[in-house]
Chains A and B, each alone.
Chain A
Amino acid sequence: MMIARTMSALAEPHRLRMLERLRSGPQPVGVLASAARLEQPQASKHLRVLRDAGLVAVTPDGQRRLYALRGAPMQELDTWLQRFRANWDARFERLDQLLADNEEDDRED
């Protein structure tokens, strides 16, 4: 399941730090390694997990390789959560109404 893979890829602090670093634009592995405070080989291992999960894409840039964020898995995760959120939204909208009605009751008191 894609979502499980996205979540397990995200559930690691070094990888999260690298993703955060990528928010400002594509970066080479060295920059990402120092953002995550890792040696380059370890950073590469984590980047492979992110790549397998589709969270980053790699493009060659002359001699080096640049890593960039890919939004698709995050959007999928958001869609998954969105349905759960929609239920609570529906409930809480009715609660808003109830709270507003109560307010009128209080005024009549």
Chain B
Amino acid sequence: MRTDLSQKTKVELTSDTSLVLTRRFAAPAQRVFRAMTDPGLVPRWYGLASLRMEVCEIDLRVGGRWRFVLSAPEAGTHAFSGVYREILPGQRLVHTENYEPLGDGHEILVTSTFEERDGSTLFRSTLLYRSKADRDGHIESGMEAGASESHDRLAGVLSAMGLAR
């Protein structure tokens, strides 16, 4: 089941204080849901080349907490945590998310849906921010990590070409 469904993440700014991520996965909804909520599986994909996942705690119950810690060699550790609000396995997941250094008042409400069709799953995640500044800041932070991500890739390419140690 490896049909090409143009599997690119779509990012839409749906209002001043929200954004929506959409992505299709070539797997049933239950499996996608599990890969996103099982602490044994999340660390296998959630880190980035520039951000290693060091802690992945998931208490998958309504009111249960989750906490992820990502670390970058030059940019220190980054802790994110939140609480599960709604859990419908294979269908819907609602949780809060907070970048811990920001403190209270900057929580993101994340509502994710999993729609299965012909064995593939449309994952749609709506991120609702407390303010436009929070939303834009989140995109900016992704931008920095993204930049270092491409630097890493460039370094990889250069080393493959014998141009760097």
Chain A interface residues toward B at CB < 8 A: 3-4, 7, 11, 80-92, 94-100, 102-103
Contact = CB atoms under 8 A, between A and B. Distances in A.
Interface of B: 1-2, 7-11, 13, 15-16, 21, 23, 25-27, 31-32, 35-36, 41, 44-49, 136, 138-139, 142-143, 145-147, 149-150
Contacts, number: 83
Contacts of A7: 13, 16, 136
Contact of B41 (A86, A90, A98): A98
A83 B25 contact: no
A84 B139 contact: yes
Given A96-B26, A99-B27, A91 B149 contact: no
B26 A92 contact: no
Nearest to B142: A84
20 contacts: A11-B16, A81-B11, A81-B139, A82-B146, A85-B9, A86-B149, A86-B150, A87-B142, A89-B9, A90-B48, A90-B49, A91-B45, A92-B9, A92-B45, A94-B44, A95-B32, A99-B31, A100-B2, A100-B27, A103-B31
Nearest to B143: A83
